[in-house]
Amino acid sequence: MENVEELANRNIGDKGSSVKTPSRIHFYTVIVIQQFLGALAFPITKFGLEEVPPFTFAFFRFLIATVVMLALLPWLGDKVRIPRHDAIKIAALGVMIVVLNQAMFIYGQDFTTATHGSLLFAFTPIFIYIFSLIILKERFTLRRGVGVTLAVIGAVIIVSQQGVEFSADMLYGDFIILIAVIVWGLYTVLGKPLVERYGAFKVTAYAALSGTIVYFPFGIYTTWNVDLGAISAAGWGAVIYLGTGLSIGAYVLWYWAIKYFDASRVAPFHNLQPFIVVALAYIMKSETITYQFALGGALIIAGVLAVELNFAKKKTTLNN
C-alpha cells in the first residue's frame, strides 16, 4: 500500500539530484487535485459548524489527521533522523498550522460567511509571494508579480458575486480569518526548506502531531460538556473530511508542490479554489454562468499563465 506522498513522488526526485524533477503535467495534476480538496473545505466547514462547536471541530479534525498520518508513517520506509534544530522548526510549524491557522479559521468562520472566508483566502498568494521574497530570497520578476495580482483580482471578482455583507460579527470573524491567511503564507514559506530535506508527508505528520499536542488540553476543555451523541453522521463526516481530505490530502500535496518549485510559482494556483467552488455550484444547480465568473476565471488563468510562462522563459534561458 502506498501513502499519499509516495503516490505524488513516484518516479521523481529533488531539484539538483540525479533523479528528474516532476513534469509539468505531473505538477498540474497534483496541484489541481490539491486545490479541489481545498475548495471543498469552505462549504463543508460551514455545514459542519452548524452541529459541531468550532473548537471541538478543530480538536477532532487534527486528532484524526494526526492519528492517521502517524499510522501511515511506517509505510514511508524513511529512516532519516530529524536533528533537534529542525525538529523544533517543525514543531513551530505545527503550532502555526493547528492553533494559529486552522483553529482560528474555524473559529472565525463561525462569525462570518463561507463567501467571506473564500474572499479572504483569495489574498493568500500575495502573502506567500511577499514572504518568499523576504524569507526565501526568491528572485522578484515583474511577470510573477503581475501573475499573482491577476489571480487575486480574479478570485475576488468570482467570490464577490455571491454577495459580501458587513456587520460587527462578520468583521470580527473576517479579522480572525485574515490572521489565519497570513499564518498560512508563513507556514508555506517556512516549511519549504524542511520538506526539501525530509519530505512533505513526514513534515506534515510531525507538524500535525506537535500542533495537536499543544492544542489538546484546550480541545479537551472545550469539548468536555459537548453532547457528542447529538452530532449527526453528516456532522462527523464534515469533521472527518477536514481531518483527512484537507489536513492530510491537501496539506501534503501543497507541501509536495512547494518542495519542488518556487513558492512564488505555486502561489497563484491557490486561487483556483474559489473558481472550483463556484464552478461546482453552477454545475450542481444548473445555473447560467455569469460574466463575473467568466471574467474572474479568465484573470485567474491569465495570472497562472503569466507565472508559468515566466518559468518557461527562465528555464529556456538557463538551458541556452
Kind and range of the H or E run holding 156: helix 142-160
Q: Consecutive 10-residue runs of the chain (320 residues): their mean pLDDT?
A: 42 40 85 88 83 90 93 80 92 91 78 70 84 87 80 75 62 82 92 92 93 92 90 93 92 91 84 75 64 75 72 44
Kind and range of the H or E run holding 210: helix 200-223
pLDDT at residue number 46:
79
pLDDT at residue number 60:
93
Terminal CA-CA length for the chain: 42
Q: Which of 194, 200, 217, 242 is nearest to 92 (CA)?
A: 194
With 0-12 CB in 10 A as exposed, 13-18 as middle and 19+ as buried, what is 231? Answer: buried
Those residues with Cβ within 8 angstroms of residue 230's Cβ, 6 or more apart along the chain or in another chain: 51
Distance separating alpha carbons of residues 277 and 40, to the nearest angstrom: 7
With 0-12 CB in 10 A as exposed, 13-18 as middle and 19+ as buried, what is 20? Answer: exposed
Those residues with Cβ within 8 angstroms of residue 201's Cβ, 6 or more apart along the chain or in another chain: 3, 4, 5, 69, 72, 73, 76, 252
Residue-range domain boundaries for the chain: 4-319
Distance separating alpha carbons of residues 143 and 261, to the nearest angstrom: 16
Name the grid cell of 297: 476565471
pTM for this model (two decimals): 0.78
**C-alpha 90, offset from chain centre:** 17
Name the grid cell of 5: 506522498
Q: At what angle do helices 291-319 and 142-160 cross, to 10 degrees?
A: 160
Those residues with Cβ within 8 angstroms of residue 23's Cβ, 6 or more apart along the chain or in another chain: none
Distance separating alpha carbons of residues 35 and 20, to the nearest angstrom: 24
Q: Which string of b and e fits 22-52 if b means at least 16 CB within 10 Å? A: beeebbeebbeebbbbbbbbbbbbbbbbebb
∠ CA 298-282-174, rounded to 5° = 75
For residues 269 and 258, the answer to whether their CB atoms sit within 8 Å is no
